[in-house]
Amino acid sequence: MNLAVVAMARTRATASSGGGVLGLVRWRAQEEGEKRTDIRALIFIASQRRMGYGPVFRTNMVGQDLIVSLDAEVNSFVFQQEERLFQCWYPDSFMRIIGADNIITTLGSSHKYIRNLILRLFGPENLRRAMLQDVHRTAQASLLSWLDRPSIELKDAVSSMIFSVTAKKLISYDSLASDGKMWKQYDAFIRGLLAFPIGIPGTAFYKCMQGRKNVMKMLKELIDERKEASGRRGSIDFIDVLLEELNEEKPLISENVALDLIFLLLFASFETTASAITAVVRFLTDNPEALQELAEEHDNIQKRRVDLNSEIIWEEYKSMKFTSHVIHEALRLANIAPVMFRKATEDVHIKGFFIPKGSKIMICPSMVHLNPMIYKDPNIFNPWRWKDTAEPTGGASKDFMAFGGGLRLCVGADFAKLQTAIFLHCLVTKYRWKAIKGGTMVLGPGLRFPEGFHIQLFPKP
């Protein structure tokens, strides 16, 4: 597999008196004659830093003096002590892009309240009752529509698919009927997300910020229309939930918070999950044994049905054990969210390390996921390893933090895993595919496919 890894793209690390350097590294497996799946660039960085400075060190990055943690126990401690010894913090450039009034920066009771609002949509009960069948039908329809096309750029196609189902549930927005207007603005936002931050018209970053501005304008219009409407019919969506709160005598959120929340939920729900699904399919493409066992699991689920064409049910979804192994292994390798940031609110001593009050900390779960002391042959896609390793309860453990951890464990983790599993179910039971071009992965602030990953889909005989 032709895998490239970039550690912290668009940042330039410089040595500081107390620590090391995280450099910019790009790895192409074939340059070293390596033909198997390989992610050794990040392992190389981690091992070099550990040898030179240990698993916790200082550096300068994103214009900040940072303490970088590659240590599983330190990472877990920071997450578990959030809002006691640490609080959420992100660089100004990041906050400028996603907006100041978002769930990432809210603290205490406000964060808990907003999180509970989101769980009304993305929590397990609503996934079972209201989301499962919609996700299933959307995946079936999307895959069928790809059959006549000579090439599908998988991440873009999956992003559009997920956006359509999520937008309908969140804001009752029909992307197809609206000619994809909102999706196109999000697409502009995403394509400039990693660009150099120069807001000059014509630059990718300018288009990114314009895309965000245009989406926010469309969301504001939707909320204003909903305020003026009386006796709206249809199922309750997330706008209804937010308007109910805004109409309280003393609302706990403002309209700006509501708008930023919808924007971020729509973005996070399709962008990260589309990356995860694309990574899973990419890994399976190069691992026929894993693909065969996955297909057998889903074929057996179908064989147990009285009606082969009936929709999937919750019990079937929960029975997908090997599918869960495949998803966890792909997330471990892909590291869609490779770093997270926190700030110390008190002086902290942990494992012999001293973290002064006010220090900014960059937590690197990706280094833990690729640590050979924790995962044997960490650069190899091996979903069978999870048969002997307990999958993280609640979505995270000290050795697996693909969805973050602590109070800010990704609120959409269950939804992301459900979408991935159901897509795989629809894919492997009815279709086969071949890679056309692309497939190189780049790990920077997030997982990217700079050349895309193009496949051609065929019906199973």
Annotated binding site for heme: 410
Give the sheet arrangement for strand 431-438, strand by strand.
152-153, 453-459, 431-438
Contact, 3 vs 27, CB < 8 A?
A: yes
Contact, 164 vs 176, CB < 8 A?
A: yes
Burial class (CB within 10 angstroms; exposed 0-12, middle 13-18, buried 19+) of 461 = exposed
**Sign of the four-CA dihedral 326, 331, 333, 336:** positive
Point out which residues pair with 341 in neighbouring strands: 362
Instruction: Give a three-class secondary structure readout of 226-246.
Output: HHHCCCCCCCCCHHHHHHHHH
Cβ contacts of 179 within 8 Å, gap of 6 or more:
none
Contact, 141 vs 133, CB < 8 A?
A: no
Burial class (CB within 10 angstroms; exposed 0-12, middle 13-18, buried 19+) of 196 = exposed
User: Which residues are annotated as part of the binding site?
Assistant: 410
Instruction: Give a three-class secondary structure readout of 182-223.
Output: HHHHHHHHHHCCCCCCCCCCCCHHHHHHHHHHHHHHHHHHHH
Q: How far apart (Å, rounded) are the C-alpha atoms in residues 278 and 49? A: 30
Radius of gyration of the chain (CA): 22
What count of residues does the chain have? 461
